[in-house]
Amino acid sequence: MRALNFWIANLSSPALVEIRDLNFSYDKRPVLQGINMTFHKGQVIAIMGSSGCGKTTMLRHIGGALKPTKGYVKVDGQVMHELNQAGLYKMRRKMGMLFQFGALFTDMSVYDNVAFQMREHTDLPEEIIHDLVLMKLHAVGLRGTQNLMPSELSGGMARRVALARTVALDPMLIMYDEPFAGLDPISLTVVGDLIRRLNDALGATSVVVTHDVQESLKIVDYVYFMANGVIVAEGSPDEIRASDKAFVRQFVHGEMDGPVPFHYPGGDYRQDLNLRA
């Protein structure tokens, strides 16, 4: 059913994010090589792959923090690297970002963490901010934590507060960098469910960079698999589960050896042992 909904959305809704022939290098080291992706409004998209394959670099391009060496990222019809500072600032107000491990302000209460963007980017009176903060906390099940400090929260609770802060301004695009990292099974399920429900409630588009295959496949509409800076596979969750591509199969099933080898490249083992003898 979700695959059908995604297909219907492709026909009926415009693309919020278009990535075309995106190339990027750190110095002379290529990180992204000819990436093409499309994210439609209302969808939850996963970008998966091994560490260092370029997933987080993709998010930085979408947010306009990096400029491509070739190609472009277009968000809501605008090419991100062509925006001036004022245009980029305006565009980022329409985005939300959940950083890895939440990244709450440790010297601020839960209430002030969630209120931060409202105070920074709007002229709303404090009484309205108060009600909005409580609404966002209620949406993630943590309205009763408003006076606590981040140090008083469990890891799962902190991640949910960070999620409330991420959606504080009702963004059109929400980006998640490893939202499931370090969570226990219950918290992981709760956060995954919230990502899906908040996206649907806001009518937003969500991009989830993650290693957690099984939890992600429960909530997303489409998956891109990256390796060595290129897309090696893409499809619906059902298509990914049934894929016969070696890299995808190894990643989905957590196999030790495959296209990503167990052994680091080295010389002949027997020769190395003889040399040491």
| Model confidence at 200: pLDDT above 70 | yes
Full DSSP string of 81-129: GG--HHHHHHHHTTEEEE-TT----TTS-HHHHHHHHHHHH----HHHH
3-state secondary structure of 256: coil
Separation of alpha carbons 79 and 96, rounded Å: 18
Residue 172 and residue 92 in contact, taking contact as beta carbons nearer than 8 Å: no
Q: Which of the pair, 13 or 123, is modelled with greater confidence?
A: 123
Q: What is the DSSP letter of 144?
A: G
Number of helices (H) and strands (E) in the chain: give both, helices first.
11, 10
The β-bridge partners of 70 are 23
26-72 pLDDT, tens digit each? 888 888 999 999 999 999 999 987 776 778 888 899 999 999 999 99
Using one digit for the tens of pLDDT, what is the confidence trace for 222-262?
A: 999 888 888 988 999 888 888 777 777 777 766 666 666 66
The per-residue pLDDT for 11 is 47
The CATH class given to the 2-94+171-276 domain equals alpha beta
